[in-house]
Amino acid sequence: MTGDLCNFESPRQWRFTWEAQSHIPTLRLFLFDPQTKPLVQCRNLKVNVSLSQSLVMVTWFDDKEVSLRVPIPRVLIDDESPVRFTAFDDHIEVKLVLLLPVGHAIVSGFDSILNFSGDDENLNLDASTPLSVDSDIRNLSSSEGVHFYCQNCEFKLTRSPLRNFSEMPSVNWREVADNWFGACCCSFGGISEKLVTKFTNSYSCMKGMCLVNFATIVVCNEDLVGCNLSDLGGDEFHGVESDLIGDIGFDESTATSVSDPVIDEESKDKNIKDEEFGASIVCKDTDEESNLERLSHLCLESNLAGNEELEQGCCTHHVSEKLLNNEKLIESTKISENQKSFLNGFLGNIFMIRSSNLSKEVEWVEYFCPQCSTLLGAYPCANGSAPVDGGVRFFKCYLSTSLPAGGSKDFFRGYTLEKLFSTQLLDCAKDELSFRTVARDLKTRVPILQVVLTNSNSWSCTGYCSSTTSCMEPAPKLDLQPVIKVLFSECSKYTESEIRTMEDQIKNDLAGEVFMPRCQIEDIVESLVSAKNALPHSCSSLQARTIEDSRFWKNVMPRI
């Protein structure tokens, strides 16, 4: 069979796209060429599958015999099931039956079982490898020192290697403190407010310390080459020195001085519920133990120590003398005026800021590469001019930790703008129970892009077909990558009535809204338009009758 196919002439530029759903044992192949109408032109269509060569070979007659070779991705195909194929007006569709869905645990473990490249480091470059803050901190901390570079021009941004790394606190850290200790001024002696103060100061931006979260890192301006935030953003900032990074005022002597509590069953049940609630939302530090969870245990134990009885009423709690006398915990630490803008605002991850985390007192100023002027991040200013804490928030997708950028030693090589966007989009849909998201310009608040999440459990890969004249060459290795399927539309093309409809959806919690630098949204739009070409027109466009805006287009984006 392959010997005859080798005599066919080379095809035109046909594109292929493989697609599968996580829990459905079917693999679909789309073949399309804008210049060809398969329904009319592809006569005597034949499809042959060679599992030994990991190839699908498609042939037909169109004035002359045409043939295509398509590599099969690494999946478990049922060779006893028939191959189904159909010619449509603008594409050919082939369906293969799988033994296991691509999302099955056995299939997802192939990389650890079969290493086709023979290079363990290349496995880490797999686009399906999850992005992890814990992993980033371990990698950064285990190195002898890390410089950060502009990914575009490879300009070294840091004056000297950074060696201290810590995770940024959770975005809802103040809410968590109130849930643990109560928002009342009398609750545990006002410990919630004291804890918030300590927490703010413990994560102040300091020279030599790099704070890390999912999408960004925070670097002190004193560690950056040619960076003077006073010149870039106004008045000199007033930082707060802190000797507490990730500790929040507790030392070993504090922990050991607390007595074992004696708790009745009712209080015990309440504490267990509190612990379960707190553990699910509190950000973890680099030791994988929640800061606030540790604090809650210590404070609750101190409050209940010595068989003290809890009286009824909000304002009559007895607080342990040891707790109240602990200067490191309850000492009223001052917060600078600039830092106060963060108490009810957003601390670090400025990638896709949600409206609930947007502070009116903070203006985000974009930070560009000193050499090539590429956007690298942003930093917060208060009162229209003064930098808040002297820290620049860099987007990981624009940085590299070694040269060359994207090499095996680059810890941020897996981060792309599309990956970050799709991950945050899934978070928005999960947290806000809305699959429609509007992206606004961070400065002007003008809506630029609307995205509707349609499927978060898809897998796909794409490329160009080859001719069977090159059948002696080995088939390239393909891997299906996890993707999300979305509908998108540029809001700049909306009419006034469509904008009003969109604003009503946001107001009625039918759509979420996020804020991003305008250039990032424009890059996302460009990527969406480009990725739309991975499917034939009939599969990427949507009829007006199925959605209120006929300008929506289907698309796929990489996900974690």
What is the per-residue pLDDT for 12?
61
pLDDT at 128: 58
pLDDT at 378: 92
Cis omega before residue 404 (within 30°)? Answer: yes
State the amino acid at position 205 in one-letter form.
C
Per-residue pLDDT of the chain (560 residues; tens, 9 = 90+): 333 334 334 456 899 999 999 989 999 999 999 889 999 999 999 999 999 999 999 999 988 889 999 999 989 999 999 999 999 999 999 999 999 999 887 776 655 554 444 444 444 444 556 788 999 999 999 998 999 999 999 999 999 999 999 887 665 666 666 666 655 555 554 666 676 666 666 666 789 999 998 999 999 999 999 887 765 544 444 333 333 333 333 333 333 333 333 334 444 444 433 433 333 323 333 343 444 444 444 444 444 443 344 344 444 444 444 444 444 444 445 556 555 555 555 656 789 988 877 877 788 889 999 999 999 999 988 766 778 788 899 999 999 999 999 998 999 999 999 999 998 888 888 776 678 899 999 999 999 999 988 888 899 999 999 876 655 667 778 889 899 888 898 988 888 888 898 898 888 878 889 999 999 999 999 999 888 888 898 887 754 323 333 345 556 666 64
Q: Are strands 375-382 and 362-368 parallel, antiparallel or unpaired?
A: antiparallel
Structure tokens at 148: 């950060």
Please state, in angstroms and rounded to a whole number, the distance separating the CA atoms of residues 221 and 43. 66
Give me the pLDDT at residue 177, please.
63
Residue 317 one-letter amino acid: H
Spatial neighbors of 32 by CB under 8 A, at least 6 apart, are 14, 15, 38, 90, 91, 92, 535, 536
Q: Which of 312, 342, 96, 92 is nearest to 197 (CA)?
A: 342
- Residue ranges per structural domain of the chain: 15-102+415-558, 133-226+338-400
3-state secondary structure of 549: coil
Q: What is the pTM of this model?
A: 0.73
* Alpha carbon 268 to chain centroid, angstroms: 37
Q: Note the pLDDT of residue 110.
A: 59
CA distance 269 to 337: 41
Q: Please give the pLDDT value at position 231.
A: 58
| Segment (H or E) for 150 | strand 149-150
- Predicted pLDDT at 350: 84
